[in-house]
Amino acid sequence: MKIKILFLTLFLVISCNNSSNESSNGDIYNLKQTAITNAIQKASPGVVGIHVETTKLVRDRYGRPRLSEGGGDGSGFIVSKDGYVITNAHNVSSIIDPNRRGQYKLFVTFSGGSMLDARIIGYDAQTDIALLKIDGEDFPYCALGNSENLSVGEFVIALGNPFNLFAESTKEPIASFGIISASNADFGVQSNGVVLDNMIQTDAAVNPGNSGGPLVDANGDVIGMNTLRRDESSNIGYAIPINKIKNIVEELKIRGSIDRGIDFGLGFINLYTNQLMIKYVHPRVALETDLSVYDIVLSVNDTKVSNIKNFSDVIKRSDVRPGDVIKLKILRDDKVKIVNLKTR
């Protein structure tokens, strides 16, 4: 009887241990399948590498002609099953450069290593956004989220093709994890005319080649496009908010470019007193507003201006389009007035 009891006890202990091990393994698997891994798995199939191959005729130091081959690599993400791809305009700058010479080839790399030719539908140099197209159907694509009301501390993942590793070795997007470390980062108008404002700052690694890739939230939805990093730091990167990208892309689909040919109906002059004065008012504007020659412009859309460059920068940062209304604060006869001006 004692032997039977001992055997039954040993059997129960072994059974419990096996059950405990199975439960433990299940717990470990569940822990590994976190929201972050699920987000990466959701977004990765729509992430692509962007590649530009160039062939140019150049001359060596003796004047002898020869062919020179080069190229560049970046990242992008598919946003529709019929093959629209979003990336940074600077990733295809060698193709869209009006002074380009030679032959260029543009293609994208998918997870698994397959490649397809791509073409440029449109681009906007001011916001550094380009829209590409690949031929085909039923492509995997990234879900676009909402970049409004983002909170510092939110988990994010940067996906892309840093150092061309996606294409050359891993055959899948490289992922780096971090948080939103700041929002609405503002660098203003750059020397090349690119406007970098309201950027999402993250400590997820954004390395060379990540440009144009998606920044996704813990749900795997795209909230921004990785665009630049601080040269002196390896853990501060910036992304263009997806809501801004959506607006630009819709117009690029239709027009191929962004219409910013604005007619204010005004002429300006910089005064030595560091003030911006109106020197000309179109008859149409004179009829529609109370603006007058010699008015001093103090601010545009509540941003202080003191010269023509200030005025131009504010217009670029506000992304003013034909038909938009701008708010001018002017000084006339020691009195401040607010005037709303509709652009044409």
Contacts of 87 (CB under 8 A, 6+ apart): 50, 74, 75, 76, 77, 130, 132, 211, 212, 225
Contacts of 191 (CB under 8 A, 6+ apart): none
Residue type, 153: G
Q: What is the DSSP string of 201-264?
A: EE-S---TT-TT-EEEETTS-EEEEEEEE-TT-SS-EEEEEHHHHHHHHHHHHHHSS-------
State the catalytic residue, choosing from 51, 94, 124, 128: 128
State the catalytic residue, choosing from 51, 90, 124, 203: 90
Catalytic residue status for 211: yes
Catalytic residue status for 282: no
Residue type, 336: V
State the catalytic residue, choosing from 75, 147, 176, 211: 211
Query: Are 208 and 75 in contact, with CB atoms under 8 Å apart?
Result: no
DSSP state of 144: B
- Joined together, the tokens standing for residue 254 give 């239709």
Query: Are 102 and 54 in contact, with CB atoms under 8 Å apart?
Result: yes
Among candidate residues 255, 265, 269, the one with its CA nearest the CA of residue 297: 269
* Rounded Cα gap, residues 284 and 296, in angstroms: 20
Catalytic residue status for 90: yes
Residues tagged active-site: 90, 128, 211
